[in-house]
């Protein structure tokens, strides 16, 4: 007879689980069929079915436990645990619902900006930060609701609110760096300073913004390494954003050459290399002598490209091609180190044994014409 209450609870729990599973299965079949005609419905259902299943299961188990468990400590503890499960799964479901709506909104906005890559990346960056803020808010709400299920938490909450002024000062001092990064992350997202996919130059290194969180930014370097920087870096340190208003850039190549360089031939070879590369976007190209110091000329070649990747490869190709042309067709233009040699001046012949100071005084007193002084 002592086994029957436990067995009855196990049967009730199994029946509740099977019932929740059947409801979830029916909903899955119906929404999957609808989702074939409406892809957003299917995508939303894929995100909601797990929290919905957890909510159905926890509610069914709590109902079954309330009907079968005998009054006592075990029943009270079980009901409390299942209540926490219901709260957590409900908050999880609502959070997933809000996030699914945000994802749907992002897809619609991105679809409208199909031809504007800059605006599309800005929307993706902002929506990413919004989703993370929403996640953090729901975690706080869920944790608070779970704490309120424990007796005596109301009094603790009243005490905390009474000392909120002092607590805020203490937390502000203790978490100054973390809060600074948090607000810096929001500032970066909503002031459009950087976006996911932007090409930035940090620490004299070109990198691609790969991820922006509420506390740090991940950039990917061309060596396939990843640098993690605090969000405050981009709000307190000057940096270059090569794709701030677009991806097109103008690349510069500098040469230090001799004055005997054939500028006409040099310029013609530059234009030939640019035309043959297929990377030039047709906006700008030029060769200019920007400085002439001593025995050197500083020659600057500039060329425009559609993006930073093309700019890098085109500058490398042009630099290599012009170096080869100078060596083969205009070697006298290569920098030379000029040294002028002169014959040494022989010292004046003087009588042996006469001190240097006496000789000098004698020579000065006599003068070149030997006159009286």
Give the pLDDT of residue 288.
93
Residue 136 banded pLDDT, cuts 50, 70, 90: confident
Q: Quick one: pLDDT at residue 322? A: 95
Most confident of 193-197, 200-204, 295-299, 324-328: 324-328
CB 212 within 8 Å of CB 166? no
- pLDDT at position 365: 38
Question: Which class in CATH covers the domain with range 249-333?
Answer: alpha beta
CA 162 to chain centre: 41
pLDDT of residue 143: 83
Residue 158: what pLDDT? 53
Mean pLDDT to the nearest integer, 170-192: 65
Instruction: Provide the CA 297 distance to its chain's centre, in angstroms.
Output: 40
Report residue 315's pLDDT band, with 50, 70 and 90 as the boundaries: very high
Within the chain, all domains assigned CATH 3.30.70.100 are found at: 249-333
Q: Assign 169 a pLDDT band (cuts: 50, 70, 90).
A: low
Distance of CA 279 to the CA centre of its chain: 26
Torsion of CA 359, 362, 368, 369, to 10 degrees: -150
Residue 3: is its pLDDT beyond 70?
Answer: no
Task: Tell me 349's DSSP state.
Answer: P
The more confident residue out of 373 and 276 is 276
Q: Which two tokens stand for residue 58?
A: 């926890």
pLDDT digits (tens, 9 = 90+) for 222-274: 777 888 888 888 888 888 887 766 677 888 999 999 999 999 999 999 999 99
Q: Decide which of 291 and 244 is more confident.
A: 291
Query: Band of the pLDDT at 370, cuts 50, 70, 90?
Result: very low
C-alpha 189/C-alpha 180 separation (Å) is 14
* 3-state SS, one letter per residue, for 81-129: HHHHHHHHHHHHHHHHHHHHHHHHHHHHHHHHCCCCHHHHHHHHHHHHH
Sheet with 240-241, side-by-side order of all strands: 226-230, 216-221, 205-212, 199-202, 240-241
For the chain, percent of residues with pLDDT exceeding 70: 78
Tell me what pLDDT residue 362 has. Answer: 39
Cα angle, residue 204 at apex, residues 125 and 286 outer, rounded to 5°? 95
DSSP conformational letter for 282: E
């Amino acid at each position: 007879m002592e086994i029957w209450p436990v067995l009855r609870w196990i049967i009730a729990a199994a029946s509740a689980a099977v019932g929740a599973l059947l409801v979830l299965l029916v909903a899955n079949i119906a929404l999957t069929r609808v989702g074939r005609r409406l892809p957003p419905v299917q995508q939303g259902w894929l995100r909601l079915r797990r929290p919905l299943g957890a909510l159905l299961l926890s509610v069914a188990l709590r109902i079954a436990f309330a009907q079968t468990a005998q009054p006592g400590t075990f029943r009270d503890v079980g009901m409390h645990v299942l209540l926490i499960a219901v709260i957590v799964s409900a908050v999880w479901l609502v959070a997933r619902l809000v996030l699914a709506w945000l994802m749907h909104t992002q897809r619609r906005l991105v679809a409208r900006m199909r031809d504007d890559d800059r605006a599309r990346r800005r929307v993706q960056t902002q929506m990413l930060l919004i989703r993370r803020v929403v996640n953090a808010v729901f975690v706080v709400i869920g944790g608070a609701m779970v704490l309120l299920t424990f007796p005596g938490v109301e009094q603790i909450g009243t005490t905390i609110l009474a000392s909120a002024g002092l607590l805020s000062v203490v937390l502000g001092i203790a978490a100054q760096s973390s809060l600074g990064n948090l607000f810096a992350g929001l500032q970066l997202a909503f002031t459009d300073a950087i976006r996911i996919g932007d090409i930035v130059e940090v620490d004299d290194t070109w990198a691609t913004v790969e991820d922006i969180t509420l506390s740090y930014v991940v950039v990917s370097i061309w060596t396939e390494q990843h640098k993690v920087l605090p969000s405050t870096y981009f709000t307190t340190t000057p940096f270059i954003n090569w794709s701030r208003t677009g991806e097109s850039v103008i690349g510069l190549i500098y040469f230090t050459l001799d004055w005997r360089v054939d500028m006409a031939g040099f310029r013609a070879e530059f234009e030939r290399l640019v035309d043959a590369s297929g990377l030039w976007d047709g906006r700008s190209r030029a060769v200019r002598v920007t400085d002439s110091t001593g025995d050197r000329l500083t020659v600057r070649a500039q060329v425009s490209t559609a993006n930073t990747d093309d700019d890098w490869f085109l500058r490398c190709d042009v630099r290599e091609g012009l170096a080869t042309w100078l060596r083969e067709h205009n070697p006298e233009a290569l920098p030379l180190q000029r040294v002028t040699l002169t014959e040494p001046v022989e010292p004046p012949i003087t009588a042996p044994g006469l001190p240097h100071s006496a000789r000098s005084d004698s020579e000065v007193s006599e003068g070149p014409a030997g006159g009286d002084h």
